[in-house]
Amino acid sequence: MENDLDKIILTQEQITKRVAELGEEITKDYQDKQLVVIGILRGAAVFMADLIREVKLPMEIDFMSVSSYGASTKSSGVVRINKDLDSTITDKHVLIVEDIVDTGLTLKYIVENLMSRKPASVRLCTLLDKPSRRAVDVDVHYNGFTIPDEFVVGYGLDYAEIYRNLPYIGVLKPEIYTR
For residues 15 and 30, which CB has a smaller minimum distance to ligand 5GP in the complex? 15
What is the nearest approach in angstroms of ligand 5GP to the Cβ of residue 90? 26
Burial class of residue 27, CB neighbours in 10 A (0-12, 13-18, 19+): middle
| Interatomic CA distance for residues 159 and 162, integer angstroms | 5
Q: Which of 4, 50, 84, 102 is catalytic?
A: 102
For residues 65 and 88, which CB has a smaller minimum distance to ligand 5GP in the complex? 65
For residues 55 and 100, which CB has a smaller minimum distance to ligand 5GP in the complex? 100
Residues 71/103, Cβ–Cβ less than 8 Å = no
Amino acid at 6: D
Q: Is 4 a catalytic residue?
A: no
What is the nearest approach in angstroms of ligand 5GP to the Cβ of residue 134? 8
Q: How far apart are the first and last CA of the chain?
A: 16
For residues 124 and 157, which CB has a smaller minimum distance to ligand 5GP in the complex? 157
What is the nearest approach in angstroms of ligand 5GP to the Cβ of residue 100? 5
What is the nearest approach in angstroms of ligand 5GP to the Cβ of residue 119? 21
Backbone torsion region of residue 171, taken as left when φ is above 0, otherwise alpha when ψ lies between -120 and 50, otherwise beta: beta
Residues that bind ligand 5GP (CB under 6 A): 43, 75, 98-107, 151-153, 157-159
Catalytic residue positions, numbered: 102
